[in-house]
Structure formats: structure tokens, C-alpha cells
Structure 1
Amino acid sequence: MVENCDAKGDGNCVANGNGNGENNDQNFPIVFTSMGMFIIDEIHFPNQPAQYDVLGGGGTWGVVGSRVILSSKHSGEVGMIIDYGTDCPDKIKEEVAGWGIDAIIRENESRLTTRGWNMYGDNEFRSFKYLTPKKRIDVDDLVQYESLLNSKSFHLICSPERCIEIMKRLRIERLKIGNEEEPISIWEPIPDDCNPKNLERCLSILDKIDILSPNAAEASSFFGLSEPNNRKELEKIASKFIPYLTKKNSGIVLRCGKMGCYCLNNSGLSKWFPAYHHPLNPDYKVVDPTGAGNAFLGALATGFVKSDKNWTIACICGNIGSGLAIEQIGMPKLTKGDRWNGKTVQERFKLYLDRNKDIDFDFKKLSKLLDYNQ
């Protein structure tokens, strides 16, 4: 369900409807909600024309990663608040509506949509800045929409202090409506915070987090190190966080780009999961890395919740989500038959598992867990 509320001039917004994913044949509880932002990007590459009005933002990529893992039957289990300004193109609004997610749309005639400028260069260089004032999502926004407040997991892209404040507020507000269940927290540190000066701030909150997931460069930067290019050194870095991840069945999923991801949890799992795309694969297609990390986390969280906290399923889902994100500039295209860039998610799972025989997992079991048609 896409729920519209029109804010005129003063930025206040009153929604119509209840935000319960009524576009689906059945109503399901929200599995994943991102508190990241909706952004319209312009993207600049060396020796290539710039791309403008590209749908993006960490929050948007997170919900797309989640939606990719879910069938259209369950699309309403993905939640997000989206703020449109006066300059948001109709083509973007139509694309979002086509996903069928439980989106709360707030239109505001007194401001521009949050816009970002991205520059990519050699050796995975990236620079980013905001071109218009940003509109971030807080717990006060979620309180207005019970379906989102009751989400089973939350994607947090923020400082350590804001992460903990959000989790505290969520617990308080959920208790007010009779929900005693603690949601799964997936924390993605802000790149600017990833340095030795802020290491203690990071470590001090990990006992409250379920899943920590920086990329390899960010995790290394906390210790003043350059990003390693081999598994052994990356494993050492990941292991430095584990003593502080003390919640039951919590852990770190280190995102390592073309190397895939490394999962280390406090229940004894230590395993690498290769990336979906590999240069030797016949369908190898890597165009633009924008949003891959956020899509990974949306897919990871969704797999984690739907499988009752199975880390193997979660990491497979994460790699499927990020693999799809990098196949084009902007968002992957959803077409008839629940096909993303021409393939169903079932086809992508089968390809991934066929190519990675060392991952011992039954696809039929996975399909049943995620409620795919056989």
C-alpha cells in the first residue's frame, strides 16, 4: 500500500488510511523498516556522462533490497516513510508505487526533495554531498504509523549515540501500544565516524545491537588501518568487534565488495559468502556500486527475520540484494511476474547456490521459509 498525505506549506502531514499493506491478498506484519532517507541522486563518473534524477538514498536502497527477497504477495511487509518535495519527478513516484511496499508518502509543497551529489573515481573512490536540505526520519515520525512502529527489524544508518537513542525510544513507544517484542537492529555506521577517535563510541553500544555491518574499509578505518585485500586480515578485523557484541545470537557481517561478505557471530559461526557477481560468471554485470551496501542490509535483515535468525539464509539474501543493486545505474527494474532485471529472486537463489556448492543449504527449504511458489 502506498499511503499519501499532502503537507501544504507548513510541512505538517496527516495521512489517510492505516498503512497495513492492503495492496496484498493478505495482510502481514512489517518485517523491515528503514530509517534511512529517500534521496534523488545525480551521479558523476570519470569519462562518462553524468546521470540526473536517479532514485536513491540509503533508506530507499534498503527497502528495495528487502522487497527483492519478498514475493509480491508479501511486498506490504516492507515499510518506509518517503518525503516528496515539489521537484520530485512523476516517473520516480510511479516507480516507487510499483513496488507495492507499505510506503507512507508525505508530499510537502514548502520544500525540495532531498537531493545528493555522488562522484566516483578510480580505486573505488567515492565522494558525496547534499544539494538540498536533508529530511531524516526519527521515531516521532514512526509513532504516527503503528504498522511501521511494530516492524520486526530496523535499519539504522547513523552515529552510535543516535542509534542507541532510536532503540530506546522505539522500545518505549512500542510498549505504549502493547508490543513487548524487541525488534532486530541492523546498524550501519556513518563513514565519517569510522576512525580511531570514535572507536570507543562504536564499541560502547554493541551490546545493544543485533547485527553490526560496516563495509571492509569502514571497519578497518576504526583501527587506523587500510582495507586489507585478503580474507585472513579481514577476519582479524571482524574478530575485534565480537567481544562487544554480547546480545544472544548477535554478530558482525563485514561487507567486502567483490569478495562477498564475512559473517562472524557470538554463537560460533565464521563463514565467507561469495558475492553474487563474479567475473567468470556468464551473467556477470557490474555497472554502478551506488546503493549496494544498503540493498545488502535490507535483504540481509529480511532473510534474518523470515528465517528466525538463520545467519546463512540472511547472508545469502544480502548477496542477492547487493548483486542486483549493481547491475544498473539507479534502481533495478521490476516487471511482470515479479522479475527484477529479468530474473525472479528464485532464479537468482538457484544460480547462487549452484555456483557455491560449499554452502550447504537446501533451496526447497529456503523457498518454503520465504513462501515462494514451487
Structure 2
Amino acid sequence: MSSPPVLTSIGTVLIDCFTFLNADGSETKPPLHQIGGGGLYCIIGSRLWLRPEETRILVDTEEMVENRPAQFEDLRVKFGEEMWAWRTSYGASVKALIEYKGKERSFRYETPPNPITPYSFVCTPLVQAKYLHLVSSPLEALSTSAAFESIASSASTSYEGKGWKPRIVWEPHPMFCKPEYLEDLIKAMAVVDVLSPNHDEAAALLSLPPPSTPAEFASLLQTFLDFPTLPLTTSVVLRCGALGACVGTRSGGVRWVPAYWKEEEKEEVRDVTGAGNSFLGGLIAGLEKEGGDIFRAAAYACVSASFVVQQFGLPELVTTVEGEERWNGDLPKDRLEKLWNRMDATSSSSSSS
């Protein structure tokens, strides 16, 4: 039996339908259909750093193999056949509409996702994954943790899920990042290993305006660190878009990790669909590579997001004749080294001033 993967996701694989409109509703260019979904973007964010068998996702055969055979076959082979695990389901393909109208961007499901629960992974190659990426409401986060408790405590010694309690990296669903859900979120903090809203969502939960200064970002993150339900070992990672990430733990304090693309390189950012999901995939890969160091892992996360924002859809992967994987023409490790060098230079400059 093969080793369990480092990561899996309770997230979607779907068809993203991009439309591009003027402010008056007229079309600026033809629609674009790409395979995406929050779960897939997370897995790709980690795939930049991990082998296909180390980062795996559950896919509905009806959704992808039968309804988008040519496009999916290309991805299946390109990213590695070991990355995909299958379950049979029936019904329409899951689709999301991503609309650009003038300067505004909107997202909505055209068909709802097929549900995935912890029990969906039992008797699949994904069982016993070390980390789980979760996008959900607070109550769903609590029920997911409870389901893993039930699976782990199974009385059957031959049960594949026995003892399985993955580390949960939780991305609160934007729909539930509102003040009326704060109490539930505070309860759900107790059962996750990483909490990661974006900065706007975090501020909205607390009925605050979005932060605009480094001090405001740090103060916002500290508020979550100070909630008594947050375990000592749980990290809080605010995803801050073009600014990077604000990362904190109770023992390590609060630190900044900048985005890979600098202000003068903003033309590299073409679409942010999946950027937050891929960030968290990179974060999990970084945790695995860096022995659980959340601050160093956040640099992997920023680099993963840097590849996803360069185009509509997933980044391009080319494997050279020497077996070297190049993503959008670059090596992820080269971008990581550049980012670390920039962070070191900034830290040295701050220390000497």
C-alpha cells in the first residue's frame, strides 16, 4: 500500500466560466472556460513543491472525465496521474461564473458542488493524509472535526481511517465572515491548526473597517490570537492580497511576509481567482518542508500565489528532458530564494536603522 499523502482538500474541482463585460454589460472579449475550484487551486499551490502522490484531490468522474474529457486529460497527465483520486457521481458538472464587469469582479456558483465529507475519503488513497484544507462555515468546521474524531476512534482495528486526525488548515467561507457568525467562529478556532481568513474578511467579522497600515494589520491579527478558544499551537494567517501575509502565533508573535510580486511588477497579476486557495496549498507544503515553521512556510505560500495570479486558470507546467519542472517558465525554488533574500535585506535594513 502506498504512503498517505501530505495533503488533501475538502474543496471543489469545477469549471470556471469567465466573462468579460464593459460597465454597460457589452462583451469585451469572448468567454473563457477553465478547470478550477478552490480545492484544485489549493492542491496546485502545494504541487509546486510536492510530488503528485504527496498532494491529492478527490474528483467526481462524471464532472470532469466525462463532461470535459480533452481539457481534463491534459491536466491529468501534466500534473501527474497520482494527484487524482476518483469517486463515481452523477449529475451536471459543477460550474462557477466569474464575471469581470468594468473594474468589478463577482463570483457565483451556476450549479452547486457535490458535497465532500471526511467519510468520503475513507477507502480511498487519501485516507490518513497529514493535512486537510477546508473551506467552510464555522459549524461545518466543527462537524468536520467531529467526523474525524469518530473516524479515528473506530472500534475496528482493520478500519483504514482508525487513528486519523489530520491537521486542519481552515479557510472560513467568505459568506460566513460576518459579525453574526463571530461567536461560531470563535468556537471553531478550537479545532483547527491554522486559521486563515483574508484581511477584509477578518475585519468584517469584528465589525471593523479594512486595515490600511502595518499597525492595523498586526492589531487585527492579534485580536484573533487573543481569543481564549485559540489553542496555543494554532497559527493565524491573514491573507493580505498584494501586500502578502500577516502571520502570527502566541509564542512567536506577529510577522510580515511580503507578496512575491512588487508594486512595480503589478502587470504580472492578471487574475486573482484561486490565489488564496493556492496560498494555503503552498503554506501546507512549506509546513511540511520547514518542519512546521509557519513563518518560513508563509514564504512558500506567497510564491505559490505568485504563479496562480499570472493568468486566467492554472499555471503552465512544463517538464524538461532533464526532469526539471518549470512553472510559467520559472523554478519555484528560485522565486522562493529571491523572496527570502528580499526579506533578509528588509530585516537587516530595519535592524540597522
TM over 0.5: yes
Cα–Cα, structure 1 residues 309 and 122, in superposed 2: closer, same or farther, change >3 Å?
farther
- Within a 5 Å distance, the mapping from 1:1-374 to structure 2 comes to 20=2, 28-47=3-22, 48-70=28-50, 74-83=51-60, 84-85=62-63, 86-100=66-80, 101-106=82-87, 108=89, 110-121=90-101, 125-145=104-124, 147-176=125-154, 177=160, 179-180=162-163, 182-244=165-227, 246-281=230-265, 285-336=268-319, 337-358=324-345
Q: Any idea what the Cα deviations from partners look like across 1:286-308, whole Å, max 9, x if unmatched?
A: 11000000000111012113322
Q: Is the 8 A contact 1:353 1:359 kept in 2?
A: no
Count the aligned residue pairs.
329
- Secondary structure of the structure 2 residue equivalent to 1:149: coil
CA distance in 1, matches of 2:14, 2:150: 29
The structure with more helix, counted as a fraction of residues: 2
Q: Deviations over 1:320-371 (max 9, x none)?
A: 11111101110001101211111111212122223332477xxxxxxxxxxx
* Distance in 1 between residues matched to 2:137 and 2:218, nearest whole Å: 24
Query: Hey, what's the Cα distance between the residues in 1 that align with 2:164 and 2:290?
Result: 17
Which range is displaced more, 154-163 or 307-316? 307-316
Q: Following the alignment from structure 2 to structure 1, what is the Cα–Cα distance between the partners of residues 133 and 340?
A: 26
8 Å CA contact 1:150, 1:174 repeated in 2: no
Question: 8 Å contact 1:287–1:327 — kept in the other structure?
Answer: yes
Distance 1:63 1:161 in 2: 24
Q: Distance in 2 between matches of 1:359 and 1:50?
A: 43
Q: Which 4+ runs in 1 deviate beyond 3 A?
A: 45-48, 120-123, 174-182
With over 3 angstroms needed to count, the CA separation of the structure-2 counterparts of 1:359 and 1:187, relative to structure 1, is farther
Question: Structure 1: any 5+ residue segments left out of the alignment?
Answer: 1-17, 21-27, 361-374
1:24 is matched with which residue? none
Q: 2:10–2:117: 8 Å Cα contact kept in structure 1? A: yes
SS at match of 1:62: helix
Residues of 2 paired with 1:68 and 1:347: CA distance? 12
Q: Deviations over 1:242-274 (max 9, x none)?
A: 123532421210000010000011213310000
Equivalent-residue separation in structure 2 for 1:227 and 1:96 (angstroms): 39
Q: Which amino acid aligns with 1:163?
A: A
Query: Displacement, 1:107?
Result: 5.0
Specify the code of the residue in structure 1 equivalent to 2:10.
M
RMSD value over aligned CA atoms?
2.2
TM-score (norm 1): 0.82
Once the two structures are TM-superposed, the CA of residue 46 in structure 1 deviates from its matched residue by 4.1
Q: In the TM superposition, what is the alpha-carbon distance from 1:194 to its structure 2 partner?
A: 0.8
Structure 2 unpaired stretches of 5+: 23-27, 155-159, 348-353
**Equivalent-residue separation in structure 1 for 2:18 and 2:148 (angstroms):** 34
TM-superposed CA distance for 1:230, in Å, is 1.8
Assess, with a 3 A threshold, how the Cα gap between structure 1 residues 121 and 252 changes in structure 2: closer, same or farther. Answer: farther
TM-score by length of 2: 0.86
